[in-house]
Amino acid sequence: MNPASEHLIRTPLYERHVALNARIVPFAGHAMPVQYASGALREYQIVRGGGAGIFDISHMGQIRVSGPEAMAFLQHVTTNDVSRLADGQVHYSALLNEQGTFIDDITTYRLHEHEFYLCVNAANRGRDARHLLQHAAGFDVRITDESEDTALIALQGAASQDVLQPLADIDLDAIAYYRFAPVGLLGRQTLISRTGYTGEDGFEIYMPADIAPAVWDALLEQGAHPAGLAARDMLRTEMGYALYGHEIDDTVTPVEAGLMWITKLDKGHFIGREAVLARKQEGAKKRLIALELVDRGIPRERYPVLADGQPVGEVTSGMFSPSLQRGIALAYVQPAAMDSGGLAIEIRGRAAAARLARLPFVPSRVRK
């Protein structure tokens, strides 16, 4: 596949990926590395096994929300309670439509009372920006899409701090879990948060796009290992983290997705609140659950989930877990199926026995 022929967007690190013999695939309109020469399993093992993996996630969108009514605006358009954030703190949140279903899941960074930074999914960036601009009317607020000028690298794994510390101009111990700070790297200002999508300790580094190749090279020199989309998906699935287009989309509300913990109904009005409240009261027609296979097999997206031989739902994300040495899956099922003792996943016409599992599938080792 020639990404250029498909008019894909290249991140500032594209040439680095090509030089490392990465396999490039289309992802959310971008040319992204799915794996490098060492293979996705090896990349996964480095992150889970105490090393440090670096992921190019510059395809993600970054939107700055600023102005005297920035907090009031974000209270109106997001599900989580922005008033509970302190300066330098991050939280997980969502944008909903009036029907209470997901426009996107996001992270919200509070720089100060009148300025916030949103990290949004690449596939939804344009829609998110339009949604924010549409609802900004009546608020003294500015919406600025900074995605084109920003690069984002995730450094994940137990060795991440050891790798990053020699390059940073502050003591990284000062950055607690879901906190962030301005940090000088290679003589330039960046924003670094102790966040990630893997269940391991690590950081996400927001930086001017022009310094991304130099930062990437410096992290490699410090011992980090490049990792691609395949390893990232394996790591997030083991943690049960939602992925837009799989576990969440514009057909499900936080009630079905198990994300009421980021949906603060008691904070006052926000877009979608009434619809979510109504769905909560009437009860969801499907629920997101975690399954692990008892039989051999690898569950994949859209494979049917069975209860006592009858279809009751389908897999949204599935894989063979290297840590557990068995197939695992996230799936939406009819609520009654959760009480069934005869769960299975249909794999190529065969019913592979499964059981309910608790999330995360493997223990989280984030530094709290």
For 85-96, write each residue's pLDDT tens digit: 999 999 999 999
Q: Could you give the CA distance from residue 302 to residue 308 in angstroms, rounded to a whole number?
A: 19
Looking up tokens 């670094």, which residue turns up?
192
* The architecture CATH gives domain 1-284: 2-Layer Sandwich (3.30)
Q: Could you give the CA distance from residue 190 to residue 181 in angstroms, rounded to a whole number?
A: 8
- Per-residue pLDDT at 5 exceeds 60: no
Q: How many CB atoms lie within 10 A of CB 7?
A: 9
b/e per residue 242-276 (b: at least 16 CB within 10 A): bbbebbbbbebbbbbbbbeebbbeebeebbbbebb
**In the predicted model, what is the mean pLDDT of residues 140-156?**
98
What pLDDT, in 10s, does the model give residues 108-137? 999 999 999 999 999 999 999 999 999 999
Whole-prediction pTM: 0.96
Task: Determine contact, residues 180/88, Cβ cutoff 8 Å.
Answer: yes
The ranges assigned to domains in the chain are 1-284, 285-359
Task: Determine contact, residues 357/290, Cβ cutoff 8 Å.
Answer: yes
Q: Could you give the CA distance from residue 334 to residue 118 in angstroms, rounded to a whole number?
A: 34
Give, as one character, the DSSP assignment of residue 201.
S
Q: Could you give the CA distance from residue 240 to residue 290 in angstroms, rounded to a whole number?
A: 8
Helix axes 70-77, 125-135, angle to 10 degrees: 120
CATH number of 285-359: 2.40.30.110
- Per-residue pLDDT at 2 exceeds 70: no
**Structure confidence at residue 346 (pLDDT):** 98
